[in-house]
Amino acid sequence: MPTGTAPVRLLDPDSAARLTAAARSLLAEFDGSSTHPGLLAEVPTVAASLGEAIRHACRPVDTADGLFVLRGLTVDDTEIGPTPGHWSTAGEAGAVHDVIVLLLSTVMGTPIAWEGQQEGRFVHNIVPSAGHEEEQTGASSTVLLSPHTEDAFHPGRAHLLVLGCMRNHDSVATTAASVRNAELTASDVELLSRPVLPILPDDAYAAARGYTGAPPAVPTLWESEEGLTLRFDPAYTPLHRAPADHRAAYARLERELARVSVAVVLDPGEVLVVDNDLVSHGRVPFKARYDGTDRWLKRSSVRVEGRRTRPPAEEAEHGYGQAVVEAYA
């Protein structure tokens, strides 16, 4: 089990109340629909009005840990209703928290969606789902969700991953490990900076998995202007195709990430922000009950304009035909 703690940022009660009130007001204006196009159009203006304390709390990740937990928000366990059995049945359950996550994400950057995932929503419901227990997706439960960077197969992947906790009665931990806390040799960094293997789309992207174009080889590590960055998803990387020295370096990276990994147990209302260029994240196994009380997260993906933490060669990748949709394009 990973150990350690995550940096915490505390949102003061007035700011938390202001954020929640803004989300409720937006929902009321658009008949309770968190996905209404009109609501989405209003989010940037409302986010810009939230005040300096919220902007400061949402400042860029500023430690080598590559993440932080935002505390101060609350969730009414009764008001949100039962944990949905599947993302497609969630509807507007916990809708005010969808809008809160959208507002926070917009303070930090631009939320993105995927045409082929959860019907193009900008905020996803992450819940265990019957029949998906052993997949390497957010709907799984009984298996370890292997450490990975979010949507590593795609050049348009998020810079930040935002996870808002609705319910976590069983204290299920999210695991996280920063490559900048890992101890790697110069030789391993050089080997893993070579584009040797592709990263294939995960099981959440059915259309992308059927794409017929040749998978592009991509580097696992890259030295950006900000420091070492990571593109990592061993569950969807065909490591058996790599030379022995590359496989050995990759295995050493996996061991280092496991060594520096922390376990983040979110309580309702807490929001975990992960720098997707630095941190691999996963989830420990748990036994889902499917009785309306299981773990439930709200997830958004955020791109940060002007950030240069990706190799320029990524711009030529096809992304397996998967289109990214920016919220305010």
- Residue 328: count other Cβ atoms within 10 Å of its Cβ: 10
Query: For 179-201, what is the mean pLDDT?
Result: 97
Q: Is the pLDDT of residue 329 over 90?
A: no
CA quadruple 145, 151, 117, 67: dihedral sign: positive
> Given this model, what pLDDT does residue 5 score?
79
Q: Is the pLDDT of residue 2 over 70?
A: no
| Matching residue, tokens 């009130």 | 21
Task: For the chain, list the domains and their CATH numbers.
Answer: 8-306 (3.60.130.10)
Cα distances (Å, whole numbers) of residue 134 to 18, 131, 144, 184, 252: 40, 8, 8, 31, 26
> Given this model, what pLDDT does residue 256 score?
98
Q: What is the dihedral of CA 157, 177, 105, 52, to 10 degrees?
A: -140
CB neighbour list of residue 181: distance below 8 Å, 6 or more residues apart: 64, 65, 260
3-state secondary structure of 139: coil
Q: Is the pLDDT of residue 3 over 60?
A: no
Please state the pTM of the whole predicted model.
0.96
Give the chain's mean pLDDT. Answer: 95
Query: For 306-313, what is the mean pLDDT?
Result: 94
Closest-CA residue to 300 (of 13, 58, 30, 24): 58
> Given this model, what pLDDT does residue 117 score?
86
| 60-63: long-range pairs with CB below 8 Å, 24+ | 60/108, 60/304, 61/160, 61/273, 61/275, 61/278, 63/7
Lowest mean pLDDT among 61-70, 122-131, 203-212, 318-327: 203-212
Query: For 4-22, what is the mean pLDDT?
Result: 94
Q: What is the DSSP letter of 22?
A: H
Query: In degrees rounded to 5, what are phi and psi of residue 320?
Result: 55, 30
Q: Is the pLDDT of residue 40 over 80?
A: yes
Determine if residue 269 is left, alpha or beta; phi over 0 gives left, psi from -120 to 50 gives alpha, anything else beta: left
User: Edge to edge, what strands does the sheet with 145-148 contain?
Assistant: 145-148, 279-283, 173-178, 262-265
Q: Is the pLDDT of residue 309 over 70?
A: yes
Q: Is the pLDDT of residue 258 over 70?
A: yes
Q: pLDDT above 70 covers what percent of the chain?
A: 99
CA distance 321 to 255: 33
Query: In degrees rounded to 5, what are phi and psi of residue 308?
Result: -115, 75
Going by pLDDT thresholds of 50, 70 and 90, the confidence category of residue 4 is low
Summarised one tens digit per residue, pLDDT across range 214-241 is 999 999 999 999 899 999 999 999 999 9
